[in-house]
Amino acid sequence: MKQKSFYIKTFGCQMNIRDSEIMAQKLYENGYLESATIEDASLIILNTCSVRGKAEQKFFSLLGSLRKIKKQNPGLKICVAGCVAQQEGKKIIDRMKHVDLVIGTQHIYDIPRLLKKSETQKTAVNLSDIYEIPPYIPKTNISHPGSGKKPEKQFQFSRFVTIMQGCNNFCTYCVVPYTRGREVSRNVKDIVEEISLFVGSGVSEITLLGQNVNSYGRTNQVTETELPYSFANLIHEVSEIPGLKRLRFTTSNPKDLSDELIDCFARIDNLCPQFHLPVQSGSDAILKRMKRNYTIDDYLKKVDRLVSACPEIALTTDMIIGFPGETEIDFQSTMRLLERVRFHGSFSFKYSDRPGTRAAEIDSKLSEQEKGARLHIFQKRQDEISLARNRDYVGKTRTILVEHSDPTSLMGRTSTNHIVHVESGDKEIQAGDYIEVQITFGGQHALKGKLL
Ligand code: SF4
The span from the CA of 43 to the CA of 39, in Å, is 10
Does the beta carbon of 168 lie inside 6 Å of ligand 1?
Answer: no
pLDDT at 57: 86
Does the beta carbon of 170 lie inside 6 Å of ligand 1?
Answer: yes
Say which DSSP state 280 is in. Answer: B
Does the beta carbon of 50 lie inside 6 Å of ligand 1?
Answer: no
Does the beta carbon of 212 lie inside 6 Å of ligand 1?
Answer: yes
Question: Which string of DSSP letters, residue by residue, matches 20-73?
Answer: HHHHHHHHHTTT-EE-SSSTT-SEEEEEE--SSHHHHHHHHHHHHHHHHHHHH-
| Portions of the chain given CATH number 2.40.50.140 | 397-451
Query: Probe ligand 1: pick from 52, 172, 212, max atoms within 8 Å of CB?
Result: 212
In degrees, rounded to 5, the angle at the alpha carbon of residue 173 between the alpha carbons of residues 167 and 178 is: 40
Tell which atom from ligand 1 comes closest to the C-alpha of 168: 4
The span from the CA of 13 to the CA of 143, in Å, is 16
- Residue type present at position 158: S
Does the beta carbon of 254 lie inside 6 Å of ligand 1?
Answer: no
**Strands 397-406 and 345-350, how do they pair?**
unpaired
The CATH superfamily holding the domain 153-391 is tm_1862 like domain (3.80.30.20)
pLDDT at 425: 63
pLDDT at 139: 60
**Residue whose CA lies nearest to ligand 1 atom number 8:** 174
Closest CA to 143 of 248, 28, 247, 43: 28
Closest CA to 207 of 172, 169, 251: 251
Does the beta carbon of 253 lie inside 6 Å of ligand 1?
Answer: yes
Does the beta carbon of 210 lie inside 6 Å of ligand 1?
Answer: no
The span from the CA of 208 to the CA of 162, in Å, is 6
Q: For the beta carbon of residue 395, count every other beta carbon within 10 angstroms.
A: 10
Gap from CA of 29 to ligand 1 centroid (Å): 33
Tell which atom from ligand 1 comes closest to the C-alpha of 212: 1
Task: Please state the pTM of the whole predicted model.
Answer: 0.91
Per-residue pLDDT for the chain (452 aa), expressed as one digit of tens each? 678 999 999 998 889 988 998 899 899 889 999 888 898 999 999 999 988 777 888 899 999 999 999 998 889 999 999 999 988 888 898 888 899 999 988 888 889 999 988 888 777 766 555 567 777 766 655 554 444 444 444 457 899 999 999 999 999 999 999 888 889 999 999 999 999 999 998 999 999 999 999 999 998 889 988 888 999 999 999 999 999 999 999 999 999 999 999 999 999 999 999 999 999 999 999 999 999 999 999 999 999 999 999 999 999 999 999 999 999 999 999 999 999 999 999 999 999 998 899 999 998 999 999 999 999 999 999 999 999 999 999 999 999 999 988 878 899 999 999 999 997 666 688 889 999 999 999 999 999 999 98
pLDDT at 146: 44
Query: Probe ligand 1: pick from 172, 174, 347, max atoms within 8 Å of CB?
Result: 174
Does the beta carbon of 211 lie inside 6 Å of ligand 1?
Answer: yes
Residues whose CB falls within 8 Å of the CB of residue 49, separated by 6 or more in sequence, listed in order: 11, 12, 13, 16, 55, 56, 59, 82, 83, 84
Gap from CA of 204 to ligand 1 centroid (Å): 29
The values of phi and psi at residue 279, to 5°, are -100, -35
Gap from CA of 252 to ligand 1 centroid (Å): 9
Tell which atom from ligand 1 comes closest to the C-alpha of 177: 5
**SS3 per residue for 347-373:** EEEECCCCCCCHHHHCCCCCCHHHHHH
The CATH class, in words, for 5-124 is alpha beta
Gap from CA of 263 to ligand 1 centroid (Å): 24
Say which DSSP state 216 is in. Answer: T
Does the beta carbon of 169 lie inside 6 Å of ligand 1?
Answer: yes
Does the beta carbon of 176 lie inside 6 Å of ligand 1?
Answer: yes
Query: Probe ligand 1: pick from 15, 105, 169, 182, max atoms within 8 Å of CB?
Result: 169
CA dist list (Å): 170 to 175, 211, 408: 8, 12, 49
The CATH class, in words, for 397-451 is mainly beta
Does the beta carbon of 272 lie inside 6 Å of ligand 1?
Answer: no
Gap from CA of 197 to ligand 1 centroid (Å): 30
Does the beta carbon of 208 lie inside 6 Å of ligand 1?
Answer: no
Gap from CA of 177 to ligand 1 centroid (Å): 7
Closest CA to 82 of 65, 58, 98, 64: 58
Say which DSSP state 6 is in. Answer: E
In degrees, rounded to 5, the angle at the alpha carbon of residue 35 between the alpha carbons of residues 33 and 40 is: 125
**Strands 43-48 and 5-10, how do they pair?**
parallel
| Portions of the chain given CATH number 3.40.50.12160 | 5-124
pLDDT at 155: 54
- Residue 438 pairs with which residues in a beta bridge? 397, 450
- Up-side HSE of residue 122: CA atoms within 13 Å toward CB? 16
Tell which atom from ligand 1 comes closest to the C-alpha of 175: 8
| Torsion of the alpha carbons at 261, 349, 104 and 195, rounded to the nearest 10 | -30
| Portions of the chain given CATH number 3.80.30.20 | 153-391
- Up-side HSE of residue 367: CA atoms within 13 Å toward CB? 3
